[in-house]
Amino acid sequence: MFGISKKAITILFGLLALAFAVGAILLFTPQAGQQARGKPVLWVNGKAVYELDLLRLQGNDPLYAANPQGLLKTLVDTHFLEQVILTEALKQDAARIRVGSAEVRKEVDRIREQLGLKDKKAYEQFLNQVGYTDAQLRSEIKTQLQIQKRLEQIRSAAKPTPEEVRFYFEVHQEDYKGEPRVKARQIVVDEAKLAAELLAKAKAGEDFAALAKQYSKVGAEQGGALGAGPGESEPKPVTKVVFPEKVAEAVFAKQGPGLVGPIEAGGRYYLVKVEEYLPPKVPTFEEVKEQVEKDAQEAKGNGALEAYLENLRQKAQVRFAEDSPFSYKNLPVAKVNEQEILLAQVLQPVFSNQQTAALIQQGLGELAVQFFLPQTLESLIERELLVEAAKKSGKPFIGSKDQIAQAYLLYETRGLTATEEEARRFYAENPALFTIPASAEVTGVVFKAEAKAKAFREAALRGGDLQALAKAQEGTVTEYGTVSPNQLPAVLDRLVFKVKETFPKGPMGEVSEVVKLEDGTFAVLLVKNRKPEVLKPFNEVVEEAKERVILSKRQQKGQALVQELRKAAKIENRLSQVLAELTPKTQEPAKPPTQEAPKEAPAKP
């Protein structure tokens, strides 16, 4: 699902300093004299936008950097000019917002400080570089502050009703579910042998709290009771954060009472007695009312801002000069019942996508047209269907169109459950989801000459100071840290994780054979703490498996719902015809892909 993205809103909210910081003026240009700005290219509500202004903006748009041609040029032009039109309409609407000279001066000072323009000469050089006078800069900053205030005004004026807040909680209850907690005691000691002895005593029935008071380096006064304050000795519910990561993983994987450990972490040994496991639960509305109100306010503000910008654009009266150097073709590409979807609405999320921008910069812009445009249009069609259904439901959904569509799906797929049998079957069919990947602590040493690599390997097997041994053979040391498969360069990854045999061991750990890298250099790897891939036992992941089953059911039910809405709706998709119409006669029209398009996660609001 797509809408006005966070990125777009961020640009609208951002101050001019952000543009200056990257050496570009993204939204605004100085008010030079008409003659210096060239001919008018278009008029927005009767106000001219000049050729030089557009060329300056165009020069800072990465989509133009690859010099798009033909159909792609028309699409980029349309997207670019749509942004210009909306920005100009926004400037005009925000012109009535009051901004004082003190606010402008404060922002100028902030820009100067951010860019290191403290003295007058540096500031004047900067102004000269970007083509501004001080007065023009202050005028533009005032405009930008007016826009920011106007958008904030729209957002803050959108107040959710009590009914909307409660319904928001009903739809998004899972978002407020707390973390799992445990009531537990722990014993922390410095020696592995002592930890093992204490485990034996605890298993034999000795009082764990008494053992903690006598031996633990942490919380002895509380009898090892976690969450207990000074003078207290009873454990209180705590989350994973109170334990070292390795200890927390073992404690919470148990999902019930019992002894855990000893586990080494940070040079100490942890023995934990879990008295009670408290699974995550959805709080009552009253418990999280304050946070829900904030979230509902933000959602309603998003919806109000989106509606405001759409209305501003719809009301804008736009006229283009006959000899415009740009091609603006904002044609309807689809119709969902009575709602039209225009080309620019599809181009906005497509051209905001980093994958699309990368393809265009590599000269592969036609791929972006072929794959992402049809895919995005289908998402927008589905969004319109869901938003329309949400309105017809009579329920008080709030937010942007994206948020409403997603909330409607959540609401219609609520209440699904999963049995342990279903969870077990899912676990058996999807073992990779419940597998702890293999890992190893890896250090690489690279040499230009094979003979030096071999000499280092022989020395490493005997032991010594790593840096000194590497330096003696002119080697470069790289600490990769603890890695899992596919995190190392390909050749090294195969050496560590695809070769079944371990390497010969020395004082520094395992020492690999000398391997030749793709760039012609030679590497030796030192490997420690090698751990194989481990499938977590089902009893440790039963709740996670149930959640994944429920998610799968929701997705299936959601897809079925969308298909039902499609069947009941009147949908016209004219994208192929529009692209064919816009393609120059000498260029083959872009066609939707014959094979499945690459999947892209929906943009979240």
pLDDT at 531: 87
Regarding predicted confidence, which is higher, 252 or 332?
Answer: 332
pLDDT at 25: 34
Burial of 404 (0-12, 13-18, 19+ CB in 10 A): buried
Q: Count other Cβ atoms within 10 Å, centred on residue 301.
A: 22
Alpha-carbon distance of 333 to 369, in angstroms, equals: 14
Alpha-carbon distance of 537 to 431, in angstroms, equals: 10
Alpha-carbon distance of 310 to 4, in angstroms, equals: 10
Residue 7 has pLDDT above 70, yes or no: no
User: What's the whole-number mean pLDDT along residues 582-599?
Assistant: 58
289-319, pLDDT tens digit by residue?
Answer: 999 999 999 999 999 999 999 999 999 999 9
Q: Which of 18-32, 115-129, 158-172, 523-537 has the weakest average pLDDT?
A: 18-32
Architecture of domain 179-278: Roll (3.10)
Same fold, 8-21+36-157 and 179-278: no
Burial of 27 (0-12, 13-18, 19+ CB in 10 A): buried
Among 293, 254, 248, residue whose Cα is nearest residue 266: 248
Residue 547 has pLDDT above 80, yes or no: yes
441-473, pLDDT tens digit by residue?
Answer: 999 999 999 999 999 999 999 988 999 999 999
Distances (CA, A) of 467 to 297, 464, 530: 57, 9, 22
99-111, pLDDT tens digit by residue?
Answer: 899 998 898 888 8
Please provide residue 48's backbone torsions phi and psi, each rounded to the nearest 5 degrees: -75, 145
357-396, pLDDT tens digit by residue?
Answer: 788 888 888 887 888 899 999 999 999 999 999 999 999 9
CA 570 centroid distance within chain = 35
What type of residue is 266? G
Please provide residue 596's backbone torsions phi and psi, each rounded to the nearest 5 degrees: -60, 130
Helix (H) or strand (E) holding 541: helix 538-568
pLDDT at 588: 57
Helix (H) or strand (E) holding 564: helix 538-568
213-258, pLDDT tens digit by residue?
Answer: 888 888 888 888 888 888 788 889 988 888 888 888 888 887 788 8
Residue 1 has pLDDT above 50, yes or no: no
85-131, pLDDT tens digit by residue?
Answer: 999 999 999 999 998 999 988 988 888 888 888 788 888 888 887 77
User: What's the whole-number mean pLDDT along residues 564-583?
Assistant: 93
Which residues contact residue 584 at a Cβ distance below 8 angstroms, ignoring those fewer than 6 apart? 70, 71
Sign of the Cα torsion 558, 564, 565, 566 reads positive
Percent over 90 (pLDDT), the chain: 44
Alpha-carbon distance of 483 to 480, in angstroms, equals: 7
Query: Concatenated DSSP letters for 18-61?
Result: HHHHTT---S------TGGG-SEEEEETTEEEEHHHHHHHHHT-
Using alpha carbons only, give the angle 18, 19, 23 rounded to the nearest 5 degrees.
120
Domain coordinates in residue numbering, the chain: 8-21+36-157, 179-278, 438-532
Confidence of residue 340 (pLDDT cuts 50, 70, 90): very high
Query: Concatenated DSSP letters for 355-380?
Result: HHHHHHHTT-HHHHHHHHHHHHHHHH
Task: Report the SS3 class of residue 172.
Answer: coil
Q: CB–CB of 242/236 below 8 Å?
A: no
495-522, pLDDT tens digit by residue?
Answer: 999 887 789 998 989 999 999 998 899 9
Residue 140 has pLDDT above 70, yes or no: yes
Which residues contact residue 315 at a Cβ distance below 8 angstroms, ignoring those fewer than 6 apart? 89
User: What's the whole-number mean pLDDT along residues 568-589?
Assistant: 85
Alpha-carbon distance of 488 to 480, in angstroms, equals: 8
pLDDT at 562: 95
Q: What is the CA radius of gyration of the chain?
A: 31
- The set of long-range contacts for 292-295, using a CB threshold of 8 Å and a minimum separation of 24, is 292/165, 292/168, 292/169, 292/176, 293/160, 293/165, 295/168, 295/172, 295/175
pLDDT at 598: 42
Query: Token pair for residue 385?
Result: 């269907």
Confidence of residue 552 (pLDDT cuts 50, 70, 90): very high
Q: Which of 245-249, 329-333, 354-358, 600-604 has the weakest average pLDDT?
A: 600-604
Supply the mean pLDDT for the chain.
85
Q: Which of 20-29, 35-44, 572-581 is the most confident on average?
A: 572-581
Query: Token pair for residue 552?
Result: 């799968």
User: What's the whole-number mean pLDDT along residues 174-189?
Assistant: 88
Confidence of residue 567 (pLDDT cuts 50, 70, 90): very high
CATH H superfamily, domain 8-21+36-157: Porin chaperone SurA, peptide-binding domain (1.10.4030.10)
Alpha-carbon distance of 134 to 117, in angstroms, equals: 13
Alpha helices in 131-276 (DSSP H): 134-157, 162-171, 192-203, 208-215, 245-254
Which residues contact residue 590 at a Cβ distance below 8 angstroms, ignoring those fewer than 6 apart? 71, 366, 369, 370, 373, 579, 583
pLDDT at 29: 43
430-439, pLDDT tens digit by residue?
Answer: 999 999 899 9
Distances (CA, A) of 461 to 322, 469, 496, 507: 79, 11, 17, 7
Q: What is the 8-class DSSP label of residue 498?
A: I
User: What's the whole-number mean pLDDT along residues 314-342?
Assistant: 91
Residue 32 has pLDDT above 80, yes or no: no
pLDDT at 371: 85
